[in-house]
């Protein structure tokens, strides 16, 4: 179920990220103010207000005690994600790819930043943390194997007293099953050392990504506050300019 949810969310997210570029191919100047455009706009705004429910339930102890026993925070989080990303998609349709007013451009930009930072928080950050833990365990094992292989090479170098056998003869006997294959401990040490170096480089990269992602929650909150402020201004301007001519 988690994989299916992740696939759905990521698919809609990809559509959303590239949908705003539709203005390169299509612009509908009057769609946002039409009846159908208003339906998309109101529906999108309504859905994007739903994610506030998760914030209130999570941050307000009174609501959390009353609601959490019936609806878990995980369910609220799923609602938070689904309604936010679908609402943003409807809002993009509402624009008709007409980006003219500074308020509309700022609102669209902050909306996309909210969605992107939310996806990073929900999926990329946990993935990076889990992947780094697995690589740390693998690095510990690889270092143990490297130490063991290096010890074997040192013991072979110290205890080797007999004259060396011709490599061709040794290989031929090994192919007949009469003698062990040539000692390749030095090659194993090289391979293990390269593997350890690759893991250490990968872990350093993950640590860098983790530092970048550590500020994503702050960015998500700040941009969300800016988005809802701009959304309120957009709704107020729509009511003012849309209804002031009514008798």
pLDDT tens for 91-150 read 988 888 787 888 888 998 999 899 888 887 777 766 666 666 667 777 777 777 667 666
At 48 the pLDDT is 92
At 82 the pLDDT is 87
Number of C-beta neighbours around residue 18 at 10 A: 9
DSSP assignment of 128-149? HHHHHHHHHHHHHHHHHHHHHH
Cβ(85)–Cβ(21) below 8 Å: no
pTM for the full predicted model: 0.63
Q: What percent of the chain has pLDDT over 70?
A: 68
Cβ(196)–Cβ(142) below 8 Å: yes
| Chain mean pLDDT for the chain | 75
Confidence label for 164 from pLDDT (cuts 50, 70 and 90): very low
Which residues, 6 or more positions from 103, have their beta carbon under 8 angstroms from its beta carbon?
230, 233, 234, 237
Q: How confident is the model over 187-236, as pLDDT tens digits?
A: 666 777 777 777 777 777 767 766 766 677 888 889 999 999 999 998 88
Q: Please give the torsion angle defined by the CA atoms of residues 153, 154, 157 and 161, in that order, rounded to the nearest 10 degrees.
A: -110
Q: Give the separation between CA 36 and CA 54, rounded to whole angstroms.
A: 29
Nearest to 18 by CA among 92, 81, 114, 104: 92
For the cut 80, the answer to whether the pLDDT of residue 14 exceeds it is no
Residue ranges per domain, the chain? 2-124+215-243, 133-210
Q: Give the separation between CA 156 and CA 161, rounded to whole angstroms.
A: 9
Nearest to 171 by CA among 160, 183, 163, 161: 183
For the cut 60, the answer to whether the pLDDT of residue 36 exceeds it is yes
């Amino acid at each position: 179920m988690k994989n299916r949810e992740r696939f759905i969310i990521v698919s809609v997210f990809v559509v959303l990220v590239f949908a705003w570029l539709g203005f390169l191919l299509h612009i509908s100047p009057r769609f946002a103010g039409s009846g159908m455009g208003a339906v998309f706009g109101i529906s999108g705004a309504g859905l994007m207000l739903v994610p506030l429910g998760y914030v209130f339930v999570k941050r307000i102890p009174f609501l959390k005690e009353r609601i959490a026993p019936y609806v878990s925070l995980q369910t609220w989080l799923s609602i938070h994600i689904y309604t936010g990303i679908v609402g943003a998609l409807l809002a993009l349709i509402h624009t008709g790819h007409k980006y003219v007013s500074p308020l509309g451009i700022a609102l669209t930009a902050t909306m996309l930043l909210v969605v992107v930072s939310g996806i990073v928080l929900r999926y990329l950050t946990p993935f990076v943390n889990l992947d780094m833990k697995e690589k740390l365990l693998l690095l510990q094992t690889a270092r143990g194997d490297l130490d063991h292989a290096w010890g074997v090479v040192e013991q072979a170098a110290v205890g080797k007293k007999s004259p060396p056998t011709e490599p061709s003869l040794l290989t031929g006997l090994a192919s007949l099953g009469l003698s062990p294959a040539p000692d390749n401990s030095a090659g194993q040490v090289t391979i293990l050392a390269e593997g350890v170096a690759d893991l250490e480089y990968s872990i350093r990269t993950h640590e860098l990504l983790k530092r970048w992602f550590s500020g994503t929650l702050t960015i998500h909150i700040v941009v969300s506050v800016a988005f809802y402020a701009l959304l309120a201004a957009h709704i107020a301007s729509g009511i003012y300019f849309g209804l002031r001519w009514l008798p």
